[in-house]
Amino acid sequence: MNPQQPGIDELLYPPYKIGLLVDVLREDGVAPGDALRGTGLGPADLTSPTTRSSVRQLLTVFENAMALSRDPAVALRAGRRIHITHYGLYGYALLSSPSIRDACEFAIRYHRLATPTTHMQLGERDGVAVWEFESAYELDRASALYRFIIEFQFAINYSLYRDVSNGEEKPISVSAVYPAPAYAEHYRNYLDCPTYFGRPANELRFNPAVLRGQPSLANPITAAMLRETCDRMLGELQTSAGIAAKVHGLLLQNPGQFPNEEQMANRLHMVSRTLRRKLATEGTSYKQILGDVRKQLALKYLRETRVSIDDIAAALGFSDASSFRQAFKRWTDKNPSDYRSA
């Protein structure tokens, strides 16, 4: 699990994805109680504003869906039903973003607010924009649950992509790491593009020109206000999450004033050896988390300010601008100046 991924059993999220899956399964004749079997949730919990669910509960509903639905492509069907309005303030922040590129970057930065079951990143290669997804948990890539998670994410991203871009374009193609399932023909029905299986990565490719467009409700002032709200929500979530997320949050509290590992351990009231062990248990390290924070801040400064590259490098604790450029190229496959001008 990376530093952006809360614990699988932590009750942190409104159960909107679970509720949507229950509704989709009801269409297949599956009773809500059966869809929720093993989660500890009842149908009434899904409509309560105080209910908080965990990733494990969502994964349990995934497994129930695979066992009970008559539709082998239920993950794709359910994912296409999710729209920005399901995400509350997080969704409205996406809709009000100044550009579609801003909306995509916002989606990545605040993905922790959305009951995440995948890691995702956005890049451009060979003139094509590429969303790349990987399961956030250790699963066999050939397993049905892994495939369900990736299918669900493919369909969600396509649905949100259409919401933000006013449905103007379709993806160029989809690639999946797993073999073609028996219902592979359904991929084109739900994703509206060719799909290729047994590929090195799970990717959704589309025309990069879309990133330069504007959502229909773009409003910089509203976007800024909603991002402040999402920052607070993220902070609240971090206080409930694991050690990696707590470290991540502490580093973001004082940008540019990065303590070393021993100093961070002291702030968390433990010795550095204990901190290393706890972070290793969560699949990360202090160095990896610090790199992630530096990347987030670099993207923010380049996107939202006109601060010079030299000053950004200094603010992020790099010895010189050259070292910062090398790190930024490693993070994004771009030079800082190219990212800023895009």
Tens of pLDDT, residue by residue over 132-176, are: 999 988 889 999 999 999 999 999 999 988 888 877 679 999 999
User: What would the mean pLDDT of 68-94 be, rounded to a whole number?
Assistant: 92
Please count the structural domains in the chain. Answer: 2
| 9 falls within a domain | no
| 284 falls within a domain | yes
Q: Indicate whether 314 and 208 sit together in one domain.
A: no
Cα–Cα dist 102/113, whole Å: 17
Angle between helices 286-304 and 100-109 (to 10 degrees): 160
**Side chain identity at 126, as an amino acid letter?**
D
The tokens of 175 are what?
């690639």
What is the strand order of the sheet 128-135 is part of?
Answer: 118-125, 128-135, 202-206, 173-175, 195-196
Q: Which of 65-79, 237-251, 299-313 has the lowest mean pLDDT?
A: 237-251
| 229 falls within a domain | no
Q: Indicate whether 319 and 177 sit together in one domain.
A: no
CATH classification at residue 269: 1.10.10.60
Domain that holds residue 32: 16-212
- Answer whether residue 178 shows pLDDT above 90: yes
Whether 154 contacts 133, CB under 8 Å: yes
The mean pLDDT value of the chain amounts to 88
**Side chain identity at 59, as an amino acid letter?**
L
Whether 57 contacts 39, CB under 8 Å: yes
Tell how strand 173-175 and strand 195-196 pair up: parallel
Q: Indicate whether 207 and 247 sit together in one domain.
A: no
